[in-house]
């Protein structure tokens, strides 16, 4: 569902809390597949690149 929506160029449903990232992840976006299961991705031309998936604490360790 997420991949199909993104490939169609449509915005994700608000339940996924999709948003831009900053810092080391500038140019990427994050959406919540479940409350603490996140997907980090970026779009390049006609491609969507899924880069990382995991819990918030695992993805964004200091």
Domain residue spans of the chain: 2-59
Nearest alpha carbon to residue 31 among 41, 43, 45, 44: 41
- For residue 57, pLDDT over 80 is answered with yes
Fold of 2-59: YaeB-like fold (3.30.2310)
Q: Which residues contact 2 (CB under 8 A, 6 or more apart)?
A: 12, 16, 31, 33, 39
Is 19 in the active site?
no
Q: With 0.85 as the threshold, say if the pTM is over it.
A: yes
- Is the model's pLDDT at 62 over the cut of 80? no
- The kind and range of the H/E element at 50 are strand 47-54
Q: Catalytic one among 27, 49, 56, 58?
A: 56
pLDDT digits (tens, 9 = 90+) for 1-49: 899 999 999 999 999 999 999 999 999 999 999 999 999 999 988 899 9
- pLDDT tens-digit profile of 17-30? 999 999 999 999 99
């Amino acid at each position: 569902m997420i991949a199909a929506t993104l490939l169609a160029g449509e915005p994700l449903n608000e339940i996924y809390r999709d948003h831009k990232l900053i810092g080391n992840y500038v140019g990427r976006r994050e959406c919540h597949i479940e409350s603490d299961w996140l997907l980090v991705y970026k779009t390049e031309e006609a491609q969507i690149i899924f880069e990382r998936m995991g819990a918030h604490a695992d993805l964004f360790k200091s």
